[in-house]
A and B are shown apart, each in its own frame.
Chain A
Amino acid sequence: MSISHAPPQPAPDISGKESDRAPSPGPGPGARPELVALVPTSSRRARVPRWLRRTTGPLLLLGLWQLLSTTGVLTSDVLASPETIARVAGNLIEDGSLTSAMGVSLQRVAIGLLLGTLVGTGLALVSGLFRIGEDLVDASVQMLRTVPFVGLIPLFIIWFGIGEAPKVAIITLGVSFPLYLNVYAGIRGVDSQLIEAGESLGLSRWGLVRHVILPGALPGAMTGLRYSLGIAWLALVFAEQINADAGIGFLMVQARDFLRTDVIVVCLIVYAFLGLLADFVVRTLERLLLQWRPTFTGR
């Protein structure tokens, strides 16, 4: 071994005698590291409240629209100005036609959403919890979900007539699939270690479902609900534009026949606001039900 024959290179000087060493390149012992102050988040973050920040985007859009209308870039027969729209909306609310249409539409969505939630989560539970259920249900659902549900409207009219039934049925159908897929994925995504822990704690079969599997599937179910709400409004528009005699879609069809673009825009805005409301409901639900989640919540 030749370890003892240490290379005759300049050994590190620890005598401390020579105070002014040759300036070493890089961050040697002589170079002082640059210090950076760490700014606390409270002073870095904007003080604007959250709801205000969320409304600025739409308000800016509105402002742009008004600007384009007043400068004449957007003519009124293409798109009425926000001012006009507001006036028309006021009139529609005054004579009660908008509010009653909204009531009818909301009721349709609510019933369709309820039925679709029951069907979607029910099927997801059957195929998520039981392997035999998966074998029986999953293949059929996967097959049916690729059929565009809008294409079924004529068939539904033949089957259910022209009353409320086909409209609710279309919404139900549209809502069921995203809920099914996400609840099913949520159930199957529950950590098997937690299931085992639940078993070791003596939970019954139903106890496991209630205390472990369903709460574990809740994030997935919320995602499904988001998709479902979006699809519910879409399905509503389609359903109401075909032989309806009430509802927002009917109002729009009527407006089209009278070439009232302003009324059409009012209806579209109503749809948008209902969508916003639905989003708010889901957000609130998530905040209440998923506060346990140790996930990234954004900065």
Chain B
Amino acid sequence: MATDVHRPVTGTPHRGDTASQDTRGSADTTPAPPAAPPGTSDPTVVRVAGLTRAFDGRPVIDRLHLDVRAGEFVALLGRSGCGKSTLLRILAGLDRDIEGTALVPRRKAVAFQAPRLMPWKRVWRNVLLGLPGKPERGVAEHALEEVGLGHRAQAWPKTLSGGEAQRASLARALVREPDLLLLDEPFGALDALTRVKAQRLVDELWQRRGCAVLLVTHDVEEAVLLADRVLVMEDGVIAHEQRIDLPRPRDIADPRFAALRTGLLERLGVEAPPAPSTPPPKAA
């Protein structure tokens, strides 16, 4: 696929190989983003201009602009109810009650917060659902293996755990070989441990597939961990944009990571937690 060419520069498939990534060294000193594309020639997979969506006359998205390049990993943050899911549903083509222009690739796939598997279809049939032609079961099994679920292909969705169901839903999205993958808080309902695993999985899959990802999340840490670019949505527009130039795989303990996180949290109106420098007054 053409998108393979435009894979992010820092997205090295060999994650353990920390030896000779000179881009990493430069990231320490220069503000020049190593994750930036080599040129502006990267094709755009999402181009949104002047997008407006109103519910009963109340605009939730108000003349919004957004561009996403091929192969780019974009995270979208914002307070609950600010219209993130609405934007994602529009990009997925599920909500056409819009004004303005929105260009999206034909091949796109969505994974929602709930897995939304058809309970009446076995897992592998769920994965193949909606694919053109008559795809073989092997196609589904291959996609399921990619998310570590090859052994559950024959299962009914009701027998899957929350994390497994979410991975099956991811396999269902990936089997479409999308140019744009839309994720709406896909880890929101998972327990902490499963969430970390799922985040790693998405990171890996993105690096392997090289598709553009738009990840809606309310977790700042997750956004900084995964994305090339973090957007903050507010009052119906993208109010803030933050490039994340940290080398991958990223380390939460990195002070630059913490700085980015704090900056974004402040941007979202959450004060940084009072450091231990302000102990409760001790009355004598």
Bound pair (A, B): yes
Identify the A interface with B (CB < 8 A). 1-4, 193-194, 196-203, 207, 211-212, 215-216, 218, 291-294
Q: In the complex, which of the residues B129, B158, B281, B283 contacts A211, with contact meaning CB atoms closer than 8 Å?
A: B129
Q: Which listed residue, B109, B131, B132, B282, touches A4 by the CB 8 Å rule?
A: B282
Residue contacts A-B, CB under 8 angstroms, 18 given: A1-B281, A1-B283, A4-B284, A193-B112, A193-B114, A194-B118, A197-B112, A199-B93, A200-B92, A202-B130, A202-B131, A212-B118, A215-B121, A216-B120, A292-B120, A292-B158, A293-B158, A294-B119
Q: Please judge, given known A-B contacts A193-B116, A292-B119, whether A201 and B158 are in contact too, CB under 8 Å.
A: no
Contact B94 A196 (CB under 8 A): yes
In B89-138, which residues have CB < 8 Å from any A CB?
Answer: 89, 92-94, 109-110, 112, 114, 116, 118-121, 129-132
From DSSP, what is the main secondary structure of chain B's interface residues?
A: loop
Contacts of B157 in A (CB 8 A): 292
Q: Indicate if B261 sits at the interface (CB-CB under 8 A).
A: no
Q: Which 9 A-B pairs have the closest CB atoms?
A: A201-B130, A294-B158, A197-B116, A215-B120, A1-B283, A200-B110, A202-B130, A203-B130, A292-B120
Given A4-B283, A215-B121, 18 more A-B residue pairs with CB atoms under 8 Å apart are A1-B281, A2-B283, A193-B114, A194-B118, A197-B112, A197-B118, A198-B118, A200-B92, A202-B131, A203-B130, A211-B129, A212-B118, A215-B120, A292-B120, A292-B158, A293-B119, A293-B158, A294-B119
Is there a chain A Cβ closer than 8 Å to B172's Cβ?
yes
Q: Is B156 an interface residue (CB 8 A)?
A: yes
What is the CB-to-nearest-CB distance from A3 to chain B, in angstroms, rounded to a whole number? 7
A193–B118 CA distance with the chains assembled, in angstroms: 10
CA distance A207 to B125 in the complex (A): 14
Tell me which residues across on chain B come within 8 A of A198, comparing CB atoms.
118, 129-130
Q: Which residues of A contact B281 (CB under 8 A)?
A: 1
Shortest distance from the beta carbon of A243 to any chain B beta carbon, whole Å: 46
| A residues near B93, Cβ cutoff 8 Å | 199-200
Across-interface contacts of B284 in A (CB, < 8 A): 4
Residue of B93, B130, B158 with most chain A CB atoms under a 10 A cut-off: B130
Tell me the bound Cα distance from A215 to B109 in angstroms. Answer: 23
Asked if A200 and B158 make an inter-chain contact with CB atoms under 8 angstroms apart, the answer reads: no
In Å, the complex CA distance between A170 and B284 comes to 92
Q: How many angstroms from the CA of A54 to the CA of B120 in the assembled complex?
A: 29
Within 8 A of A (CB), among B60-95: 89, 92-94
Which residues from chain B contact A202 at a C-beta distance below 8 Å?
130-132, 176
Contact partner of B118 (CB less than 8 A), chosen from A1, A4, A211, is A211
From A207, which residue of chain B is reached at the shortest CB distance?
B130
User: How far in angstroms is the closest Cβ of chain A from B172?
Assistant: 7
Nearest CB to that of B284 among chain A residues?
A4
Report the bound CA distance from A260 to B112 in whole Å: 68
User: Contacts A200-B109, A215-B118: A291 and B130 contacting too (C-beta < 8 A)?
Assistant: no
**Which residues from A are CB-within-8-Å of B283?**
1-4
Whole-angstrom distance between the Cβ of A128 and the nearest chain B Cβ: 17
Question: Which positions 259-279 of chain B face chain A at CB distance < 8 Å?
Answer: none
Determine if B129 and A200 form an interchain contact, defined as CB atoms under 8 angstroms apart: no
Closest Cβ neighbor of B281 among chain A residues = A1
Measured between alpha carbons, how far is A216 from B118 in the docked complex, in Å? Answer: 9
A73 to B15 CA separation, bound complex (whole angstroms): 89
- In the assembly, what is the distance between CA of A203 and CA of B128, in Å? 11
Residues on B with C-beta less than 8 A from A212 are 118
Complex CA–CA separation, A202 to B121 (angstroms): 17
Minimal Cβ-Cβ distance residue in B for A291 = B156
Residues of B within 8 A of A3 (CB): 283
Tell me, rounded to whole Å, the shortest Cβ–Cβ distance linking B124 to chain A. Answer: 14
Q: With a CB–CB cut-off of 8 A, which chain A residues contact B282?
A: 4
Q: How far is the CA of A202 from the CA of B130 in the complex (A)?
A: 5
A207 shortest CB reach to chain B, Å: 7
Please give me the residue from chain B that is nearest to A294 by CB atom.
B158
Q: Within 8 Å CB of A194, what residues of B?
A: 116, 118
Nearest CB to that of A5 among chain B residues?
A: B283
- For A294, list chain B residues within 8 Å (CB): 119, 158
The residue in chain A whose Cβ has the minimal distance to the Cβ of B129 is A201
Complex contact A199–B94 (CB within 8 A)? yes
